[in-house]
Chains A and B, each alone.
Chain A
Amino acid sequence: MDKKTYTITRNQLVARDTYELVLEGDGCIKGEFVHLDIPGYYLRRPFSLCDSSENSITLLYKTVGEGTRKLSTLTGGTEVSVLTGLGRGFNPDACQAKALLVAGGLGAAPLYYLARELKAQGKEVTAILGFNKKDEIVLQKEYEVLCDHVAIATLDGSVGTKGFVTDAISALKPPYDFFYTCGPMVMMKAVCSALEGPGEASLEERMGCGAGFCYGCSIETLRGPRRVCMDGPVFKKEDIQW
């Protein structure tokens, strides 16, 4: 874990209530998420890494509360304090040759970060991205450029398969030896019970410190209590107690 200062270079609405935040600074960071200090709010907010370059990181966030609404008002040039190097992310090495990525909403962000690594390792990647409606879709083009197969599911049928990601998976029957999922808990639970074979899911919990020492985000797993921020947020399918 490190505490670093980044400068906002882009903070742009890219879908309904959804912003892309590009931070200039050290892009060569480890970990699954960063913990960002929003001026005027007491606790930091955790955001998964979506993309990075040598001198920038990209995050996607939704304005779901006061803190993220404040974040959306910060303009280019604003400096922010960021804790980096947090969380245990997806394990790309767990996939032998064919990976299936199943995202719900902004779960598409950390899975994009993973997809880059899987493609760098020469693996075949199928991505199923689920959203409520067309205006919530993010990263579709980026996934289409990067991945071998991409399918969209929307609840209202405005784009792609009408229904849940599990409906798109049933329709597509993608080949995979390992799956990775990130999204709302109910969606990941459905994915983990519907999909055969090994996989990982990225869990979400309200966090305090984000670095494993306040025990604010503990959950029960089948291997005993675990901290989502430090032992996760990514857990093996077989260890998760839904």
Chain B
Amino acid sequence: MVKDLSINLGGLHLKNPVIPASGTFGFGLELAPDMDLNVLGGISLKGTTRDARYGNPTPRIAECRSGMINSVGLQNPGIDALINQKVPALRKIYNGCIIANISGFSVDEYRECCEKADASSGIDLIEVNVSCPNVHGGGLAFGTSAHAAAEVTAAVKAVATHKPVFIKLSPNVTDIVEIARACEDAGADGLTLVNTFLGMRIDIARRRPVLANTMGGFSGAAVFPIALRMVYQVSHACRIPVMGCGGVTSARDVVEMMMAGATAVQVGAENLRNPFVCPEIIEALPSLMEELRIDNLKDIIGTV
């Protein structure tokens, strides 16, 4: 029997649930010469802010056992360049779900970027990264406070009226369920979890941090069980769909994330080790489904 990999994500039809995560696949265009992007269920574009940003000084990457830390610092060309250049260029060659990932350092910045993304015909879904520091609120990340996360959600939902808005949550919190519920109550159409875990490495010969920025976001295979646990907790506490993200490296991980409650599954750091991992996972899914006696992949969502 032909296996059905398709899913419904916030009202959008995706041919499969596999999506390269924001920041690990550029703007999609970088990889277009190397693979058929159209096998991908969706692409979450690199995080974008109102104005162009150069990001952090290098080194921006630190290796770890079974993972890596990045402190790229949201290098991006700004929302106008995303909408006027990156998205139209990708739309020409890609017929799947294009996800704009929006970051901001104030509620106003989130609102302005999401309003523009909502008006862009090439964008299908808006993902809001609330892991950025709130420069007007003492520098704490929006996503570490239920109140601030809800405030951002309400602000962007007020202006993004055409497209589903998913809030991408930070795992660096005491109770992710509380924050997920606050976003749901504030009108979020879905959630992506999780972003990277705050981490650090030290160069013991030089006696200083490896990263120029001292700390960064830890991701990679090592975080999979923690991300899975958070997806499980949140998807059982909320009614809105969840995109699972964190340490996914294989078709088996995708199935596990979906059984935990994820409607779609993002692949992040593994793209940096193997740029072809997403097409490889999609190719491997039908035989794994056969092995597990699954005909429709969507049937397993949240079954555990």
Contacts and interface: CB of A to CB of B under 8 A. Distances in A.
Contacts of B275: 1, 3, 83, 209, 211, 213
A209 B271 contact: yes
Most buried by A among B24, B26, B276: B26
A215 B58 contact: no
Contacts of A41: 63
B273 A214 contact: no
A213 B25 contact: yes
B274 A3 contact: yes
Contacts of A217: 58, 60-61
Nearest to B221: A42
B60 A216 contact: yes
Contacts, number: 91
A interface secondary structure, majority: loop
Nearest to B33: A1
A124 interface: no
Interface string A177-216: 0000000000000000000000000000111110111111
Interface string A200-237: 00000111110111111111100001000010000000
B85 to A, nearest CB: 15
B68 A208 contact: yes
A214 B64 contact: no
Contact of A208 (B46, B65, B70): B70
A3 B66 CA distance: 21
Interface of A: 1-3, 37, 41-44, 67, 83, 205-209, 211-220, 225, 230
Interface of B: 23-26, 30-31, 33-34, 46, 54-55, 58-61, 63-68, 70, 72, 75, 220-221, 271-276
14 contacts: A1-B33, A1-B275, A42-B67, A43-B272, A44-B273, A205-B59, A206-B58, A211-B30, A212-B30, A213-B271, A215-B23, A215-B26, A215-B60, A216-B272
